[in-house]
Amino acid sequence: MKTLTLLRHAKSGWDDPVARDFDRPLNAKGKRAAVMVGRHMRSLDLSFDHAIASPAVRVTETLEQIESGYGREIAPALDRRVYLASAATLLDVVHGFPAEAERALLVGHNPGLEDLVLMLVADGADPLRDAVEDKYPTASIAELQFETEDWADIGSVTARLTRFIRPRDLDPTLGPDAD
């Protein structure tokens, strides 16, 4: 069995004057949410034997804050293909994961991550999938499990969504209506 955890970067600062979208940093709420999600990951004893992330500033800053709460270094490989990638590109990245990896983490952006979940998990009476389809907020985690031994075998509707954790589930002040 393979487990893929998808983490969307935390809330970034649109007020920060940067020349490129790639360089946009986290805002204070995003940093707070990422630390809290990291603590929750620690409480769930989540672990990863392979990690890939977008090299965008808001992703690397998210990982720094996640690690602060998580209490462990994640040290993902940075892969430019993940930056603003489509679900199809993200699936190509997943297909390239090493066979020996059982629990992988992919850190990136929307709409690609949300679309990937919706592609991999069958539409039906699944409240977690419905929540993802409604909105995949910043700093949220989706955990998918696959009954396969090879990442390359993963395709449409082959996953079971086992967790969907949003920052507002951990602290209501991190919801969309609070600053």
pLDDT of 177: 56
pLDDT of 16: 65
pLDDT of 144: 98
pLDDT band of 125, cuts 50, 70, 90: confident
pLDDT of 89: 98
Residue 167 backbone phi and psi in degrees, to 5? -55, -40
User: First and final CA of the chain: distance in angstroms?
Assistant: 40
Distance CA(59)–CA(53), nearest Å, equals 7
**H helices of the chain, where?**
28-43, 57-70, 87-95, 112-120, 127-134, 167-170
Distance CA(151)–CA(92), nearest Å, equals 10
pLDDT band of 178, cuts 50, 70, 90: very low
Question: pLDDT tens, 62-85?
Answer: 999 999 999 999 999 999 999 999
| pLDDT greater than 90 at residue 175 | no
C-alpha closest to that of 3 among 113, 145, 106: 145
Distance CA(154)–CA(1), nearest Å, equals 11
Place of tokens 């720094």: 64
**Full set of structural domains in the chain with CATH:** 2-174 (3.40.50.1240)
Helix (H, G, I), strand (E, B) or coil at 91: helix
Question: pLDDT tens, 110-124?
Answer: 999 999 999 999 998
The whole-angstrom distance between residue 144's C-alpha and the CA centroid of its chain comes to 11
User: Residues 102, 105, 106, CA angle at the centre, nearest 5°?
Assistant: 130
pLDDT band of 167, cuts 50, 70, 90: very high
Which CA distances in Å does 47 have to 4, 50, 80, 177, 178?
11, 9, 23, 32, 31
Question: pLDDT tens, 16-75?
Answer: 677 789 999 999 999 999 999 999 999 999 999 999 999 999 999 999 999 999 999 999
Question: pLDDT tens, 145-160?
Answer: 999 999 999 999 999 9
Distance CA(122)–CA(16), nearest Å, equals 39
